[in-house]
């Protein structure tokens, strides 16, 4: 998940947020049941904070969680990949 976060910051690409959410959760889940579990814990904590405390909004947080769950359950992160995002990511 940390690598996906770093890549998201580096890419700084509009509309790529959900892709990196899905990618980070997908990568963590590929490490086994513990990776899948901790990805859920981290994602829930992050979205709980961002959706409530930060004032970012429940809709955006719910969309992030959808992408998190998609990746964590083995879904292809490219479902959320925006056009034009460099192949590096």
Token pair for 37: 């579990």
Q: What is the C-alpha to C-alpha distance for residues 11 and 3, in angstroms, rounded to an integer? A: 12
Q: How many C-beta atoms lie closer than 10 Å to residue 68's C-beta?
A: 25
First to last CA, the chain: 13
* Tens digits of pLDDT across the chain (89 residues): 999 999 999 999 999 999 999 999 999 999 999 999 999 999 999 887 766 665 667 888 899 999 999 999 999 999 999 999 999 99
pLDDT of residue 56: 66
Which segments within 1-89 are labelled E, that is strand?
none
Q: What is the C-alpha to C-alpha distance for residues 19 and 32, in angstroms, rounded to an integer? A: 21
pTM: 0.88
Please give the domain boundaries of the chain with CATH numbers for all domains: 1-11+18-80 (1.10.132.110)
């Amino acid at each position: 998940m940390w690598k996906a976060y770093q890549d998201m910051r580096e890419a700084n690409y509009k509309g790529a947020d959900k892709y990196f959410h899905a990618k980070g959760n997908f990568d963590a889940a590929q490490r086994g049941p513990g990776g899948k579990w901790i990805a859920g814990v981290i994602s829930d904590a992050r979205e709980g904070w961002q959706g409530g405390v930060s004032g970012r909004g429940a809709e955006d947080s719910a969309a992030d969680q959808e992408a998190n769950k998609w990746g964590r359950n083995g879904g292809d992160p490219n479902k959320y990949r925006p056009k034009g995002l460099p192949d590096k990511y």
